[in-house]
A and B are shown apart, each in its own frame.
Chain A
Amino acid sequence: MKKSRKSFLKKSRRSFLKAAGISAVAIGAAPAIKAVAVASGGGSASSIPVVSPKAEALTAKRWGMVIDTSKITDEVVEGVTAACRNAHNIPDFTIEPDAEKYPNTRPAKKMQEIKWIWEEHYQYAFPEMEDEFLAEKYKSLPFLVTCNHCKNAPCVQACPTKATFKREDGIVIMDFHRCIGCRFCMAACPYGSRSFNFRDSRPFIEKINPEFPVRSKGVVEKCNLCAERLAKGEQPACVEASEGAIVVGDLENPESEVRVLLNENYAIRRKQELGTEPSVYYIM
């Protein structure tokens, strides 16, 4: 009894995660489905399990991100990383844990940190494009790097349990409850975009956001393009905090803001030569 309930919950959680993906396919189709439902007699059409997205959800055929490097300042970097941290309960190993709430917390190791979007310099963001005569301004410019939500994602290919999977709308996302923590995806990612929970992160989260799960120790995590916010019709946290430097949208739609930006500007992607087809572009 208990077991079957558990497996039901598991299934429903997964189908929920997928639902947002399926909804992407159904962009324009959603009203049509509703129309059919109305025509066939309202809410009684329950024989076909159709998962329709909330009307306010932001959808795309293939999500992409464009970062305007000229608009990235130290303040923007600060705001963006803080927004992401707060939205996703990402621990900050530099804070002192509350001794009362979390007694006997062992000190954290900086190199075991967790980050979804963070600052890098050009030579690290684009190591294969190192150039001794690179314009001075680029050398010191802060770059923001994150998961590229690759079209051909090596992490998805490597995962032995499908805990990391690709949604129909291009978002590479994780099922934290299925991950066994083998870290094969971390070895596979050519962008160092994944972090592992080497420990329980709770003592190092300043204020827990109840809208997003806190991860248990022993699982991998990374940027999810704020899928949970997109589903509610909100822009990703980084976009909101970026003062216009970061834009997300549908790469497959020529009218979308990201495509317009890519049409008008010269943009590059990280390690393009590997054929992973990153969905994050940098306007130079």
Chain B
Amino acid sequence: MLEIAIKGSKKYWIWLGALLAVMTAAFAVYIDQFMNGLMITGMSRDVSWGFYIANFTFLVGVAAGGVMVVIPYYLHNYEKFHRITILGEFLAVASLIMCLMFIVADLGQPTRMLNVLLYPTPNSMLFWDMCVLNGYLFLNIVIGWKVLEAERNQVKPPEWTKPLIYLSIPFAIGIHTVTAYLYCGLPGRGFWLTAILAPRFLASAFAAGPSFLILLCYIVRKFTKFDPGWEAMQTLSKIVCYALIANVFFFFCEVFVVFYSKIPGHMSHIKYLFFGLHGHDALVPWMWTSMTLMFVAIGLLLVPALRNNQTLLPFTCIMVFVGTWIDKSLGMISGGFVPSPLHHVTEYIPTVQEVVISLGVLATGLLILTVLFKLAATVKEEVRG
């Protein structure tokens, strides 16, 4: 099946070439980081995680979001998702590979990463995160590949894929729950120390993942002969709407608890994010942008006439994607570290190098996504025509 990937139009090769160029540039910067250490980043003693872990957290959500097409199709036989299920699974694969790359980029001693396997430590949430992330990646590769292959050969997928598909559902919930547990079980970080964190992560994931999938459907429609189906996209947009409302609702639950109880260690982080603390306010415009984007998007998704407008929907999806990205990556990580446990305010701003390396990871993910989507679209075209 892979031979499909090496037959493509000029545009296809230009796109892959551009991605490769970004990857090469980013790799050169990564060599510098590998040789000289994480000193090239904007991270510090007080803000010890930054852009890499932020993007990791967000992309775990995008990967988990794929389950929003798997559940309706496989558990409720929702036929309209038949064509896009494979897209959801392949999106999860690309996102998870990016997640793992972000983790490796963040390690101070990447050559020692196998120590996590050599000295398995079940009391560390990072150990479990590694287990579920790799498990979910494996499941999606196997399921996506086998189901697509069966479709190409016009036979039913092998029976043994069924239990794997069902297993992938709790795994999808699991990857994001465990990722939230990385943060919310730490005693000294008031911003993360809340039981709503995992539900909120899932809600924002189920908004970000499907909204990105809608955008991808538009792209697939434009560049291939395969049509994922407008009705499927409409259903996805409803899912995005509900999930986004849940995300904002959970956030307000948190805001209520924090500001009604008035516990200083919990208030200071949200104050820092939205109003600035002791004159430090780098994230204030970002957070308000995020809130505005999410609220406007909710409005555009709630009104049926606006939601069903084919020209407007991609813009709405971009708003959802950017809004949740700021909320969950920039805000969630910096917000947890600022102020520090000693209530010092050390701000975090990523360096150019950090951003370039992150773009390299993103380019790698997009390259994998392009190839996988090309496979899917071509097979679907073949079968139909």
Contact surface of A with B, Cβ cutoff 8 Å: 106, 108-109, 111-115, 120, 123-125, 127-128, 130, 145, 154, 157-163, 178-184, 186-192, 195-200, 216-220, 271, 274-276
Which residues of B (285-344) have their CB < 8 Å from a CB of A?
A: 336-337, 340-344
Q: How far is the CA of A70 from the CA of B126 in the complex (A)?
A: 42
Output the least CB separation between A141 and chain B (Å).
Answer: 16
Contact A189 B116 (CB under 8 A): no
By secondary structure, the A interface counts as loop
| Contact partners of B43 in chain A: CB under 8 A | 112, 198
Inter-chain CB contacts under 8 Å: number: 156
| Contact partners of B103 in chain A: CB under 8 A | 182
| Contact partners of A109 in chain B: CB under 8 A | 39, 44
Q: How far is the CA of A157 from the CA of B185 in the complex (A)?
A: 10
Contact A195 B36 (CB under 8 A): no
| Contact partners of A161 in chain B: CB under 8 A | 112, 115-116, 118-119, 121
Contact A218 B108 (CB under 8 A): yes
Contact B119 A197 (CB under 8 A): no
Contact B46 A111 (CB under 8 A): yes
| Contact partners of B49 in chain A: CB under 8 A | 183, 187
Contact surface of B with A, Cβ cutoff 8 Å: 36-39, 41, 43-46, 48-49, 103, 106-110, 112-113, 115-116, 118-119, 121, 123-127, 130, 182-183, 186-189, 264-265, 336-337, 340-344, 346
* Contact partner, A180, options B37, B38, B116, B343, Cβ 8 Å: B116
**Chain A residue nearest to B38 in the complex (CB):** A198
Name 15 extra pairs, CB < 8 A, besides A182-B107, A187-B48, A199-B39.
A113-B45, A158-B125, A158-B126, A159-B121, A161-B112, A161-B118, A178-B112, A181-B107, A182-B106, A182-B108, A190-B189, A192-B46, A198-B38, A199-B38, A217-B37
**Chain B residue nearest to A130 in the complex (CB):** B264
| Contact partners of B110 in chain A: CB under 8 A | 180
Q: How far is the CA of A200 from the CA of B121 in the complex (A)?
A: 28
Output the least CB separation between B53 and chain A (Å).
Answer: 9
Q: Given that A158-B126, A198-B37 are known contacts, is A188 also in contact with B186, CB under 8 Å in the complex?
A: yes
Contact A111 B187 (CB under 8 A): no
Q: Sample 10 A-B pairs with CB under 8 A, ordered by A number.
A: A124-B343, A125-B342, A178-B115, A180-B108, A182-B108, A192-B45, A192-B46, A198-B41, A219-B109, A220-B108
* Contact partner, B187, options A186, A197, A274, Cβ 8 Å: A274
| Contact partners of B340 in chain A: CB under 8 A | 192
Q: How far is the CA of A45 from the CA of B37 in the complex (A)?
A: 48
* Contact partner, A196, options B48, B112, B118, Cβ 8 Å: B48
Q: How far is the CA of A181 from the CA of B106 in the complex (A)?
A: 8
Q: How far is the CA of A113 from the CA of B106 in the complex (A)?
A: 18
**Chain A residue nearest to B34 in the complex (CB):** A218
Output the least CB separation between B278 and chain A (Å).
Answer: 12
Output the least CB separation between A205 and chain B (Å).
Answer: 15
Contact B341 A191 (CB under 8 A): yes
Contact A276 B125 (CB under 8 A): no
Contact B182 A184 (CB under 8 A): yes
| Contact partners of A186 in chain B: CB under 8 A | 45, 48
By secondary structure, the B interface counts as loop
Q: How far is the CA of A11 from the CA of B125 in the complex (A)?
A: 25
| Contact partners of B118 in chain A: CB under 8 A | 161
Contact A218 B342 (CB under 8 A): no
Contact B343 A198 (CB under 8 A): no
Contact B44 A154 (CB under 8 A): no
| Contact partners of B341 in chain A: CB under 8 A | 127, 189-192, 271
Q: How far is the CA of A184 from the CA of B186 in the complex (A)?
A: 10
| Contact partners of B265 in chain A: CB under 8 A | 127-128
Contact B106 A157 (CB under 8 A): no
| Contact partners of A108 in chain B: CB under 8 A | 39
Contact B116 A160 (CB under 8 A): yes
Output the least CB separation between B280 and chain A (Å).
Answer: 13
9 residue pairs, one from A and one from B, having the closest CB atoms: A181-B108, A190-B188, A218-B108, A111-B44, A217-B37, A199-B39, A160-B126, A160-B124, A127-B343
Output the least CB separation between B175 and chain A (Å).
Answer: 16
Output the least CB separation between B258 and chain A (Å).
Answer: 15
Q: How far is the CA of A120 from the CA of B342 in the complex (A)?
A: 9
User: Which of A145, A161, A196: most chain B CB closer than 10 A?
Assistant: A161
**Chain A residue nearest to B265 in the complex (CB):** A128
**Chain B residue nearest to A154 in the complex (CB):** B187
Q: How far is the CA of A163 from the CA of B130 in the complex (A)?
A: 17
Q: How far is the CA of A112 from the CA of B188 in the complex (A)?
A: 20
Q: Given that A158-B186, A198-B38, A271-B188 are known contacts, is A112 also in contact with B45, CB under 8 Å in the complex?
A: yes
Q: How far is the CA of A217 from the CA of B113 in the complex (A)?
A: 15
| Contact partners of A182 in chain B: CB under 8 A | 103, 106-108, 126
**Chain B residue nearest to A115 in the complex (CB):** B45
| Contact partners of B346 in chain A: CB under 8 A | 111
**Chain A residue nearest to B188 in the complex (CB):** A190
Q: Given that A128-B264, A128-B265, A130-B264 are known contacts, is A200 also in contact with B119, CB under 8 Å in the complex?
A: no
